[in-house]
């Protein structure tokens, strides 16, 4: 048995959640420094944009997480070909999710850190640098807080709201033709477009009920948001009705299409309908 296969001890999850929040706050400081002045963007091999903020924020996060000796799967490292050996437990990091929104300067971008165990995200932090708000999910439920002068303040519990009318939230930059028929079938009365993993957070704090994803995402785009949403009482299912899982064997870390929802019932209904629409 290698160190990577050893039995998991979840007693350290609260400390790892605190550490993730500290790392996310430090990354947000770096991102805000770049955001406040002119910056250049490059295009990655997959066609998506990247800026110096992505690389610098990722370096800060890895520096914070390294003492834990838990492997870190991070978006920019993977793009550069640096993929660690992943065991039963690993961190997943997207230092700047919503880089397109960062370039548009609309504030809809996030720092994302999650811990995956046996294919499931067990804790996550999503931080919005533009507002300082952070969302946390872990074994003790979901919380939101403001961050000020490098520290969390005003920590409060959040939870999903699965009441009607249904509000749907979708990608601002990656839409899909199946959204309109899906809204009609599910009797959705309101829809809103938002960039990045903020979509999971809107569901987790009860401000929307459904987030269908018909366009590609990678593990780092969803792990932290899924941890927050599930801790708040929500569900994330793939089109075959199974929970969205992590640790793809192909080393591309691409997620299948999925739906995040405020309740399991709604997720099951939406997944079945989405599967019919894209068949
Ligand atoms: N063709 C593709 N393959 C993989 N991921 C993609 C993709 N197109 C978009 N994404 C992912 O979708 C994320 C943006 O999501 P949204 O549209 O909800 O804001 C991007 O995050 P980054 O900004 O971190 O690159 C990117 O990882
Ligand atoms: Mg991303």
Domains of the chain: 3-157 (3.30.540.10), 166-278 (3.40.190.80)
Q: Which ligand 1 atom is nearest residue 217's CA?
A: 5
Structure tokens at 220: 């780092």
Most ligand 1 atoms within 8 A of CB, residue of 27, 46, 47, 48 to mutate? 48
Between the CA of 48 and the centroid of ligand 1 the distance, in Å, is 7
Number of Cβ within 10 Å of residue 105's Cβ equals 10
pLDDT in tens, 31-87: 999 999 999 999 998 889 999 999 999 999 999 999 999 999 999 999 999 999 999
Give distance in angstroms: CA of 132 to centre of ligand 2: 18
**Residue 240 labelled as part of a binding site:** no
99 in a known ligand binding site: yes
Q: Cα of 185 to ligand 2 centre, how many Å?
A: 29
pLDDT per residue over 147-193, tens digit each? Answer: 988 899 999 999 999 999 999 999 999 989 999 999 999 999 999 99
CA of 1 to the centre of ligand 2 (A): 33
**Residue 228 to residues 14, 64, 113, 203, 248, Cα–Cα distance (Å):** 14, 21, 11, 9, 21
- Cα separation of 181 and 264, whole Å? 21
Q: Which ligand is nearest to the CA of 79?
A: 1
Is the model's pLDDT at 6 over the cut of 90? no
Task: Answer yes or no: are the C-beta atoms of 209 and 119 closer than 8 Å.
Answer: no
pLDDT band, very low/low/confident/very high, at 101 (cuts 50, 70, 90): very high
Mean pLDDT calculated for residue range 6-27 = 93
Nearest-CA residue for atom 2 of ligand 1: 216
State both tokens at 169.
């939230």
The rounded Å distance from CA 99 to ligand 1 centre is: 8
**Residue in 226, 210, 214 with CA at minimum distance from that of residue 270:** 210
Probe residue for ligand 1, chosen from 51, 74, 106, 218 as the CB with the greatest number of ligand atoms within 8 Å: 218
């Amino acid at each position: 048995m290698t160190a990577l296969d050893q039995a998991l001890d979840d007693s350290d999850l609260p400390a790892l959640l605190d550490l993730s929040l500290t790392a996310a706050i430090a990354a947000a400081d770096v991102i805000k420094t770049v955001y406040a002045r002119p910056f250049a963007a490059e295009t990655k091999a997959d066609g998506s944009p990247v800026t110096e903020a992505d690389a610098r924020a990722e370096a800060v996060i890895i520096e914070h997480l390294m003492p834990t000796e838990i492997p870190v799967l991070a978006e920019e490292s993977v793009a550069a070909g640096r993929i660690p050996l992943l065991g039963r437990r690993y961190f997943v990091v997207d230092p700047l999710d919503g880089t397109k929104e960062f370039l548009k300067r609309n504030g809809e971008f996030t720092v994302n850190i999650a811990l995956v165990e046996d294919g499931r995200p067990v804790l996550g932090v999503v931080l919005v640098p533009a507002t300082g708000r952070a969302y946390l999910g872990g074994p003790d439920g979901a919380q939101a807080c403001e961050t000020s002068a490098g520290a969390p303040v005003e920590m409060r519990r959040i939870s999903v709201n699965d009441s009607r009318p249904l509000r749907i939230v979708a990608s601002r930059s990656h839409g899909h033709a199946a959204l309109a028929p899906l809204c009609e079938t599910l009797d959705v009365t309101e829809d809103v477009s938002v960039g990045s993993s903020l979509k999971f957070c809107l569901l987790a704090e009860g401000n929307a009920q459904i987030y269908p994803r018909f366009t590609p995402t990678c593990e780092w785009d969803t792990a932290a948001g899924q941890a927050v949403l599930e801790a708040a009482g929500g569900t994330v299912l793939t089109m075959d009705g199974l929970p969205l899982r992590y640790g793809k064997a192909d080393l591309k870390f691409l997620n299948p299409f999925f739906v995040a929802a405020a309740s399991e019932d709604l997720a099951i209904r939406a997944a079945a309908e989405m599967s019919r629409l894209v068949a």
